[in-house]
Structure 1
Amino acid sequence: MKIRLLTENLASDMVWLAEWGFSAWIEFGDIRVLFDTGYSDVYLRNARHAGIDLEEADFISLSHFHRDHTRGLLFHPFQSRKPLILHPRVLTAVLDTNKQAVRKDYAEIQKRIAQDFDVTATSGALEFSDGAFFLGEIPRVTGFEKGAFFDDPMPDDTALSFRTPKGAVVVSGCSHAGICNICEYAKSVTGQKLYAVIGGFHLLHSEDPPVEQTIDYFRKEGPEVLMPMHCVDFDIQSRFQHEFGGPRPGAGSVIDL
């Protein structure tokens, strides 16, 4: 299994572009999955630089409706109708804002999804290929995670999980649902312990995140690979690297599992 980060807040070195957002190209067995598309065409430009033909994607999936994960669809290059897996709320949700430009963006994203893709909208977990799971709506079970984005309960926030010989691999987009909630559900869906957890952990000071409880959770779970990125404040990122080691990947990085 191999993951190439196409969009991330930081660039892994000077030859890649970065923006606030997330997109990953996932190679798992015989399938290729584009997970999220970031905010702009950065994922396309980094894919070209990496020699990745996005037309080879077997599936596209979205982690939730926010534009830093979905707006890249406005620039998509697909000539054929690709299978797109998402939570139903992505098709209707709009940020609570009076800004017309933002509302117009969401309307255009949702229109493009309906017109250009073969959509599977599910709130339940879906095994879309052998050992590859779209987790759907995440149960809130930890007690210490808010599982929300301010006043928005974010039922659409989800992740992908993959069953591997070493255990479950979790790839999260933003983790508004709570990264520990996501991991608990991934363990249940795959029937495996955690091997790798990669992606946005949504630990931002503006939302009073449960940093100590989250670190304690991963100490107990002991995944071999733990890579928080995207929506994690710098000092919290540093805490994780101090506690668990490992690199801080960015746009352009390849994670080979």
Structure 2
Amino acid sequence: MKVTILADNTVATGIPKGLRGEWGFAAGIDDVLFDTGQSTAALNNARLLDISTDFDDIVLSHAHYDHTKGLEPFLDPHERPTVYCHPDIWNARFIREPADGRTLNEPIHIGVPYSRAEVETGAEIVEHRDPVEVSDGVFALGEVPRLHADNPVHLREEDGELVKDSVPDDQSVAVKTTDGTALVLGCCHAGLQNTIEHAETVTGQEVRYVIGGTHLVARDADEIHELADWLDGKLDVFAGTHCTGFQAEKIFSERLPGPFRSVGVGSSIELPPKI
């Protein structure tokens, strides 16, 4: 069982030559593609890493362009892969205040850059709120119950108005292995503790491996330390990517030195076999 990072903010290795980083995320989970980054980088990186790009199953974590814009080259009107997503993924998303603190005169669209009809020309679409087993032992988790802190961000369009976006479409992928569940995250807007607990309910196993974006970039140090307290002794691997943030990476490297992995494009995380 192997998870390979195909798109991320950083590149983890200089070999093979030509690997590209970008703000976004994509990962190959054996024969399932999870997210697609924001350009052709995931496709090009997969080819350089000698990973087949003919994925039969594609899971989208949520609407934002840095996880969905790279979808088009993985679609095929003849082979028609299956795309799994929350039904709210097609709702328009916007940003008004970028990271530099400016307030924009007009909000900028940051949602899926394709319509449902466009995607459907090259794929079968499965919209779901409940968990779905997309491949043997691999689950798209669907909508995550939010009993603990979550990570809302920016704006969404609702009834013709822009409202704060809790990103209700956020989902992750859980893999049942012979030694616990591996959890792969896109941005984890639903919150890491919420998502781990939901994955454990779905798989009936403890989560032992966490890989991907955790959106802790938006949380303060005290909150990250509280999360590290909760995770202490629970994980065999923590490999934060994308929106985890430098502060959280530093805290977890110090607080969870055994499980902590520094990863990026080109990293492959070996896991126990799938059940």
Relative to the length of structure 1, the TM-score reads 0.89
Q: Deviations over 1:201-257 (max 9, x none)?
A: 10114x54731221112115x111111111022122111111112321100111111
In structure 2, the residue matched to 1:239 is 251
- Please say if 1:115 is aligned against 2:121: yes
Of 86-95 and 64-73, the range deviating more from structure 2: 86-95
CA contact (8 A) 1:74 1:109 kept: no
Q: Deviations over 1:50-83 (max 9, x none)?
A: 111211x121000000000000013436352101
In structure 1, the residue matched to 2:61 is 63
In structure 2, the residue matched to 1:73 is 71
Alignment of 1:72-111 (within 5 A): 72-76=70-74, 78=76, 80-95=79-94, 98=106, 102=109, 106-108=112-114, 110-111=116-117
In structure 1, the residue matched to 2:101 is none
CA contact (8 A) 2:80 2:123 kept: yes
- Please say if 1:224 is aligned against 2:236: yes
Distance in 2 between residues matched to 1:212 and 1:199, nearest whole Å: 19
SS at match of 2:216: coil
Q: CA 1:154–1:77 in 2, change beyond 3 Å: closer, same or farther? A: closer
Alignment of 1:9-88 (within 5 A): 9-14=9-14, 15=17, 16-27=19-30, 32-55=31-54, 57-76=55-74, 78=76, 80-88=79-87
Q: Which runs of 5+ in 2 are unaligned?
A: 97-105, 155-163
- Please say if 1:131 is aligned against 2:134: no
Pairwise CA distance, 1:96:
5.4
Alignment of 1:148-187 (within 5 A): 148-150=152-154, 151-187=164-200
Distance in 1 between residues matched to 2:263 and 2:143, nearest whole Å: 27
Q: CA 1:247–1:107 in 2, change beyond 3 Å: closer, same or farther? A: closer
Moved >4 Å (runs of 4+)? none
Q: Which runs of 5+ in 1 are unaligned?
A: none
Q: Deviations over 1:111-154 (max 9, x none)?
A: 43232210000011112233211100000112xx1342252111
Q: CA 1:109–1:9 in 2, change beyond 3 Å: closer, same or farther? A: farther
SS at match of 1:139: coil
Distance in 1 between residues matched to 2:135 and 2:13, nearest whole Å: 33
CA contact (8 A) 2:75 2:81 kept: no
Pairwise CA distance, 1:198:
0.7
Distance in 2 between residues matched to 1:96 and 1:19, nearest whole Å: 19
Distance in 2 between residues matched to 1:112 and 1:11, nearest whole Å: 31
Pairwise CA distance, 1:42:
0.3
SS at match of 1:54: coil
Relative to the length of structure 2, the TM-score reads 0.83
SS at match of 2:6: strand
Give the letter for the 1:43 counterpart: A
Give the letter for the 1:91 counterpart: W
Distance in 1 between residues matched to 2:216 and 2:43, nearest whole Å: 27
The size of the alignment, in residue pairs, is 246
Give the letter for the 1:94 counterpart: R
Percent same amino acid at aligned positions?
34
Q: CA 1:149–1:58 in 2, change beyond 3 Å: closer, same or farther? A: same
